[in-house]
Amino acid sequence: MKITQMHKQKDTVLSFEIFPPKKDDELKNIDATLDILCELNPDFISVTFGAGGSSNNNRTIELAKKIKYQYHVEPVVHLTCLSYDKKDIDEFSRILTSEGIENVLALRGDRNPDIPEKDEFHHASDLITYLKRKNDFGIAAACYPECHPESANRVEEMRHLRKKVDAGAEVLLSQLFFDNNYFYRFVEDCRIAGIDIPITPGIMPVINAKQIKRMVTMCGASLPERFQKIIYKYGDNKDALFDAGMSYALSQIIDLLANDVDSIHLYTMNNPIVARRICEGIRNII
C-alpha cells in the first residue's frame, strides 16, 4: 500500500524506524525488535540506508523484504542521493520495484568527508523529481521543525520544503524534537505556505547521556528546560535516565495525540526494550 493511502484510510498512522545491523549475522537478531513492533500493527516501518555504495544498502533491502513478507507490514526504504548518480538510483529503483517495495523516503543524505559526492543530485527535491519521472513509488520526504542545520532561517526552510512537495513528496516525516511547540508552530507555517500534505512528527526516546549529545550535535534539536532538568538529575544514573527518557517520549506522544496530530513516527534505535515500553504506553490510546 502506498504511504498516501495509509493516511487516507486510517484515523491514526503509526510507524517506526529501524536500521540494518552492521553485520550480516546480526540480521537475525532484528527479529526480537520486529516481533515487538509488529504487535502494535504499525502502518509502516522505515529502514535506513547506507551511503556510498556500502554493503549496508543490501542489508537495507533484505530487511525491507523481511518486514514486508515475513511480518506483513509495509516497509519504507530510505534512499539518499548525494553520493549517487542517475545510474545508481536507477539500479536501486529497479531492485526495490522487483522486490515489491512501493514506498521510499527520499533524502539528500548527510555530507561525509570520507565519501565523495557526485554532481547529479544536490538536493532531496532533485531526487524526488527524478523518481517521480521514472517510477511509481509512494514518496515521503524529511522535514525539520527547528530548521535544517544548513538553512539560514525559517523562510528559507519553507522554500526548500515547498520544492520537495512541488517535486512530488506526498508525506513529510519530521526530524526528532523535544518540545512539541516547535512542531505545532512548524505545521502552522507549512499550512500558511500552502504545504497541505500529511506531516508526521518523529519522536526519539533519549535513554543515555551520550545519545543526547550526539543527537543535539547532529540535528541541532534544542533541549527544553524540563528535559534539561531530567538530564541534570538523572544523567549519572543509567537506569533512572532510561526510565525518565522513556516517560518523556511517551508524554510527547500523548500530548501530540491529544492535540489531534493523526500520525506518530518513532525512532526505535533497534532497541526491543524501547519498542516494548512505547508500545505498552500507547497501546490503548491509538
Please report, for residues 242, 255, 275, the alpha-carbon distance to residue 231 in angstroms, rounded to integers and kept in the order given: 10, 21, 21
- CA dist 263 and 222 (Å) reads 22
Residues 6+ apart with CB under 8 A from 7: 13, 171, 198, 262, 263
Using alpha carbons, list the distances in angstroms from residue 46 to 63, 125, 238, 258.
10, 19, 28, 25
CA separation, residue 264 to residues 11, 89, 108, 203 (Å): 12, 29, 23, 7
17 residue type, one letter: E
Give me the amino acid identity at 178: F
d(CA 190, CA 2): 23
H helices of 25-179, in order, are: 30-39, 56-65, 86-98, 124-134, 154-167
136: how many CB neighbours lie within 10 A of its CB?
A: 11
Calculate the dihedral angle through the C-alpha atoms of 95, 98, 100, 106, rounding to the nearest 10 degrees.
30
Euclidean distance between CA atoms 184 and 188, whole angstroms = 6
Q: Active-site residues: which are they?
A: 17
Residue 155, all three cell numbers: 523562510
CB 269 within 8 A of CB 37: no
- Of 23, 81, 73, 28, which Cα lies nearest the Cα of 47? 73
